[in-house]
Amino acid sequence: MGGFFDVPAKRKELEKLEEEIAAPNFWNDQEKAQKTVQLRSRLERQINRQESFETGVSDAEVLFEFAETDENSISELNDLISRLEKEVADAETEMLLSGETDANNAICSIQSGAGGTDAQDWAQMLLRMYLRWAEKRGFKVEILDEQSGSEAGIKSATFRVEGEYAYGLLACEAGVHRLVRISPFNSGGSRETSFASLFVSPEIDENIEVDIQDKDLRVDTYRSTGAGGQHVNTTDSAVRITHLPTGIVVTCQNQRSQIQNRAVAMQVLRSKLYELELEKRKAETAELEANKQDISFGSQIRNYTLQPYRLVKDTRTKFEESDVEYVLDGNIDEFIKEFLLFKKGRNN
């Protein structure tokens, strides 16, 4: 970890970037300039985090000396050690992310699968899990579209996660998730199996060109159905865009006007098409095909079992956690890290 926490080296790298940005012709190449500015911001955040970590280590040394005679210092030391351990774990995870778009924001879609009302309820539970995870990491989340279930839960939801490495982290969660539990919607108290899926695309920069022809689009408008203020349920402001060549469908209904909903939907479509193009370039055919499987038996990446025993187990890495509520409350970082390590070992 020494290289990762080397602040002087990061500062030298930052100084070089500052010199590039100060050059008169810096903005002549817009795409390159944007990437440089983004890298500068990333380095600044890393330096701030590293300096905070080093300050924390120094504080821990002082508290350790006082802890022999002061109970309050013991409590402070334990809290500080817990925070430092989390910072190190986060840094180790980020070191495993090196993809072209890993540092980007993420566009996520949750879709209920086989299992009827139970599956729609499960989709909503998954949505909450990822919203809680994002909250714990300090990421910003915007719900772009949400389709309520017929009796409970949701049929689908699309949301944007803004934060450093949001895409790289959430891409590890893409796939089918399987829940086994006693159904709260079945009077007979039978055990039911439900499925829901998560699909993730990187939010792409406006300067990245994605060829979208108007003739390839079908745009439908309809009345919004979700909560959201006076503009909802009063006009046909919700927008659904179908990309005919690929069959990709995107929707947005939570903005204040049809124009805004269309703009956001187009941004989501651009991100999905960009991700599709990246997939075509990759040789990881087996992984891609797994993500495209039906949202049903045999295709899941993770099992969440509440009955007859309690366990969350990843089918890819075999990593497991017996505290199901802990996982469903958004504590999925260990699953993400284990998958990144698994993926790195597989590619080596």
Tens of pLDDT, residues 258-298:
888 988 888 888 888 888 877 776 644 344 444 444 555 56
Q: Which residue has the higher pLDDT, 228 or 305?
A: 305
Distance CA(347)–CA(105), nearest Å, equals 24
Has residue 230 got a pLDDT over 50?
no
Identify the CA nearest to 4 among candidates 49, 61, 37: 49
- Distances in Å between the alpha carbon of 32 and those of 21, 36, 38, 60, 309? 11, 6, 10, 42, 53
Domains for the chain: give ranges and CATH numbers: 7-95 (1.20.58.410), 108-348 (3.30.70.1660)
What's the CA gap between 343 and 346, in Å, rounded? 5
What are the distances in angstroms from CA 140 to CA 195, 265, 309?
A: 27, 18, 35
Question: Is 36 within 8 Å of 16 (Cβ atoms)?
Answer: no
pLDDT bin (cut points 50, 70, 90) of residue 4 is low
180 exposed, middle or buried (CB, 10 Å; 0-12, 13-18, 19+)?
middle
Out of 88-92, 247-251, 291-295, pick the least confident: 291-295
Mean residue pLDDT across the chain: 85
Which tokens is 272 given? 């999905």
pLDDT of residue 292: 47
- Write the burial class of residue 346 (CB in 10 Å: 0-12 exposed, 13-18 middle, 19+ buried): exposed
Mean pLDDT of 231-245: 77
pTM (two decimals)? 0.71
First to last CA, the chain: 20
What is d(CA 163, CA 166) in angstroms, rounded to the nearest whole number? Answer: 5
Predicted confidence at residue 128, as pLDDT, reads 97
With 60 as the cut, is the pLDDT of residue 41 above it? yes
Q: What's the CA gap between 128 and 274, in Å, rounded?
A: 27
pLDDT of res. 108: 96
The H or E element containing residue 188 is none
